[in-house]
Amino acid sequence: MTDTPASPMPDRDRASTPQASTVDPQARLVEAQARLVDVRGLARAVEEFATERDWTQFHTPKNLAMALTGELGELVEIFQWMSPEQSSRAGSDPETAQALRDELADVLIYLVRLAEVLGVDLDDAVRAKLARNALKYPADKVRGSHRKYDKL
C-alpha cells in the first residue's frame, strides 16, 4: 500500500515518446500541443494514395524533389508579375485565392512525401533548425536587416 505512484506524472512522461501517442489519448493531447508540426495524417493519406496506384515505385527522393520543383514553379508563377504589395492582397481575388490554395497544397504534399520516404521527422527537423536560426540571427543584431548572418 502506497500513495507514491510507481511513475509520477506518467502521462506527461510518456507523452514525449512517440509510442505513447498510440496508447493514451491524454498523452497524445499533450504531445499534439507540444508539436510544432504534425503531418502524420497527410503522410499516411499520400502513402495510401500512392500505394493504391502502384506509384510508390516512382517516389524516390530524387524524383520527389523534382516534382516539388515543378509544383513550386507553379506557385511562384502566380506572383511573378505582381508587386510585393499586390502579392499581399493576392488572396482577395477568388480565382487567385483558389490557385494559391491548390499550389500550396501540391508543394506541401510532395514535401511531406519526400520527408516520409527519407524517414525525416519534420517536427524534429524544424525544431532543430529554429533553434539554430535563433543563434545565427540574434534579434539584437539583425533587427530590421536581412543581411546574411556572416555579414553582420
Q: By CB under 8 A, tell whether 65 contacts a copy of itself.
A: yes
Cβ-count burial 55-78 (b if 16+ within 10 Å, e if not) = eeeebeeeebeebbeebeeebeee
Output 1 or 57, the one with its CB closest to a copy of itself: 57
Stretch that binds a copy of itself, among 2-10, 12-20, 93-101 (CB under 8 A): 93-101
Q: By CB under 8 A, tell whether 142 contacts a copy of itself.
A: yes
The angle formed by the CA atoms of residues 91, 96 and 97, to the nearest 5 degrees, is 45
Q: Report the site for a copy of itself in 101-130 (rule: CB under 8 A).
A: 101-102, 104-109, 111-112, 114-115, 117-120, 122, 124-126, 128-130
Stretch that binds a copy of itself, among 2-10, 12-20, 65-73 (CB under 8 A): 65-73
Output 2 or 80, the one with its CB closest to a copy of itself: 80
Q: By CB under 8 A, tell whether 82 contacts a copy of itself.
A: yes
3-state secondary structure 58-126: HCCHHHHHHHHHHHHHHHHHHHCCCCHHHHHCHHHCHHHHHHHHHHHHHHHHHHHHHHHHHCCCHHHHH
Q: By CB under 8 A, tell whether 68 contacts a copy of itself.
A: yes
